[in-house]
Amino acid sequence: MMKALELVAASRLEVVERPVPEPGPGELRIAVRACGICGSDLHGMDGSSGRRIPPVIMGHEASGVVDGVGEGAGDWKQGERVTFDSTVWCGECGFCREGRVNLCDRRQVVGVSCGEFHRDGAFAEYVVVPERIVHRLPDGLSFADAAFAEPVGVALHAAKRAGGLTGKSVLVVGAGLIGLLVVQASKRAGAERVVAVDLDADRLALAIELGADGASPPDALQESDFDVAFEVVGVGLTVGLAVKSVRKGGRVVLVGNLSPEVPLPLQAVVTRELDVLGSCAIAGEYPEALAAIADGSIRVRPLVSGVHPIETGVEAFAEAARKGALKVLIAPARGEED
């Protein structure tokens, strides 16, 4: 048996005992060492999103070691240090063949339960995933740092969606966890100037610490001629700010998706001929994300708000929901020092 933090009813988590899952053909069993609490877990566990239908074990930002190898699961060895994609893609549909695995026609997400599928995640001592989505960790990278590969991959994918950023001026609207990673991804991609916008003064200060050239609350933002704006919140006011802050012919990349629908300043988009792009999840950026964390070009440790054993997972979620928290990790098992 294993310990798991299970969403047993809307907004109610419990530490439970569950059978250790067995890897099937083409699958690996991972002994989880660290798993981050994602904003989508916090926002979805009340049932409002329809993506966390209980009972389900959530958790998709994880790292650990290979503990079991299913039949035909490649050359993986027990004890290898790994992370895995949050997206389970089929590898066969047209989008997968194009390399756009984030748009897979049969896409599932680890730790998500909805009307179309149920897949338990990594807030547990063990999780089973297809070997095709698993990646080896660079030597020396801690499990805690490696658990950031998923959100770092999201930021890198957003930067790629923006096109070439070398020499560009960039606005990042929203300095939460993903926004702070987008700040760093933009600088890493060669942006000349990056400005972060947020209501929280502490997050603005952290944005500067992590490489932003400027930081401002929304009502004090003076500039309105950015080449690219990333919207990393997902509500109407911030989408409007992003649109209004880019130059004519500029580009807006929508990353946040908190609201299913938002107003769009249509005339500003049309008459100023703006490019408006969506950015969803990750499409092959995991190796780059791991390398960026390992070489320090994207810093993740300043983003850790707390680490909890699985036995205090309920308290971990309460900490993650508190104002100002960025990333709280659950560490179901202790292996090597992390």
pLDDT digits (tens, 9 = 90+) for 256-269: 998 999 999 999 99
> Residue 80's Cα: distance from chain center in Å?
23
Per-residue pLDDT tens digits for 126-160: 999 999 999 999 999 999 999 999 999 999 999 99
Q: Give the position of tokens 């209004």.
A: 244
- The pTM for the full model equals 0.96
| Residues 183-199: tens digit of each pLDDT | 999 999 999 999 999 99
CA 315/CA 183 separation, integer angstroms: 30
Strand 327-331 and strand 27-36: the pairing is: antiparallel
Helix (H, G, I), strand (E, B) or coil at 19: coil
Residues 39 and 177 sit within 8 Å (Cβ to Cβ): yes
Instruction: Enumerate the domain spans of the chain.
Output: 2-148+300-331, 155-278
**Which CATH architecture best describes the domain 2-148+300-331?**
Alpha-Beta Complex (3.90)
pLDDT reported for residue 336: 45
Tokens of 158: 């957003």
Residue range 155-278, CATH number: 3.40.50.720
